[in-house]
Amino acid sequence: MAAVLRLLLPCLLARVWLVPGTAQARPQTPAVQNETSQEVQAPEEEEEEPWLMASGHQLSEQTSNLGFSLLRKISMRHEGNVVFSPLGLSLAMAALMLGATGQTRAQLEGVLSQTGPGDLPALFRRLRQHLSRNQELGLTQGSLAFVQEDFDVKGPFLNLSKRYFDTECVTVNFHNASQARKLMNHYMNRETQGRIPTLFDEVNPDTKVILVDYVLLKGKWLTPFDPVFTKADTFHLNKYKTVKVPMMYSAGNFASTFDERLRCHVLQLPYRGNASMLVVLMEKMSDHLALEDYLSTDLVDTWLRNMRTRHMEVFFPKFKLDQKYEMHELLKQMRVTRIFSPWANLGELSAMARNLKVSQVLQRAVIEVDEKGTEAVAGTLSEIVAYSMPPIIKVNRPSLEEFWAIFERKKVKSDRADGSQEARKGRHRGR
């Protein structure tokens, strides 16, 4: 089963292989399918704001396609279940932009959007405000900044972080690793309502700032599955292996379509709050690998336009996934490299920018689907560390190697001179 969740911007992206089982959609006669893809559609409003219709729409598409690109890269590196949040990663990169300048900032902007310098933080701010108004959907986003107690962060950076991302600043002592880890995990556990109790496993004592962005989704089905009908059923892992999983059941009117080119059924499961999950069922086992190569916002929009409503029986598995990824390695593959190098320019973050770089970007994502709906949360941390430049050595006088070179040159000349003397003596004896 493969899954893709999107809400205005991609909230969560998941490819599910082993645990949950499969979804089945039956118009009248049974038709067992084995691979699934899901997508949360953007809420449809009667009146869309101008920013959403223009650069906001472009930002949404860019972040969606970023998610699809990351899914392909993660799938190549990891077998089995995949779940992560493109929105969470985009928010983390936008937060880093506030402290970056020059090429460091330009690389971040290039991956996120082409709307132009200075637009992204404002767009994310409006996005957060827009999402918070959808009370039925239950989507929240927040930001934390853990700052070393004796580290000087520029006031404008903190003010902009508060303005655009409502960032809460917390002072910690990273030199006391155990205490710092406990404090940060306490905040994450609180903000994610217990879904991510331990985002931090280790603490680098050279850390100066850790920025954390989190996204929490609580989507309730428009028509919940009845737990009475949830039964253990067979899930096909591949052609040769099956497992038993809890399978939910519902019958009613559902929107769906069939993609002739990719040979897949697409089913829409609605949430409250004008959002929905798209479930993509491949006709043949393992064809999900080909589907991942074609996933894009244009493909999803085509599916949505072709939806038709009809009466169906739907079987869908209960499942839970919990994954963690090193996003900095994936970003480097997408040419975001400068911020992780000694050439990083974080001059808007602190006056000591020459000695700062991002050491890692980690994300943990959790998704759980049951009869009531979908709960998903993702936390993305960006660790900013101070590093020491190597001592400066200026060779402006003879070094040991130069002494050895001089010695060797003198030795060679001496050997040549000795050889010449022996040759002359030989010639003299020959006479």
pLDDT of 238 higher than 60: yes
- pLDDT at res. 127: 76
Mean pLDDT, to the nearest integer, of 37-47? 39
**What residues have CB less than 8 Å from 261, skipping those under 6 apart?**
none
User: E strands, 370-424, where?
Assistant: 373-386
Give pLDDT tens digits for 370-426: 999 999 999 999 999 987 655 555 555 555 555 555 556 666 556 655 555 555 555
Nearest Cα to Cα of residue 219 among 271, 168, 269, 169: 271
How far is residue 114 CA from its own chain's centroid? Answer: 19
Q: What is the model's pTM?
A: 0.79
Compute the chain's Rg from CA coordinates: 29
DSSP 164-205: HH-EEEEEE-TTSHHHHHHHHHHHHHHHTTTS-S---S---T
Q: How confident is the model at residue 48 (pLDDT cuts 50, 70, 90)?
A: very low
Copy the structure tokens of residue 138: 């239950």
Nearest Cα to Cα of residue 375 among 1, 2, 5: 5
How far is residue 41 CA from its own chain's centroid? Answer: 19
Strand bridging mode 139-148 / 82-84: unpaired
Please state, in angstroms and rounded to a whole number, the distance separating the CA atoms of residues 367 and 378: 9
Please state, in angstroms and rounded to a whole number, the distance separating the CA atoms of residues 23 and 37: 10
Distances from the Cα of 226 to the Cα of 102, 231, 340, angstroms: 55, 11, 49
Please state, in angstroms and rounded to a whole number, the distance separating the CA atoms of residues 59 and 65: 10
pLDDT of 2 higher than 70: no
- pLDDT at res. 397: 57
Please state, in angstroms and rounded to a whole number, the distance separating the CA atoms of residues 290 and 261: 11
Give pLDDT tens digits for 154-176: 999 999 999 999 999 999 999 99
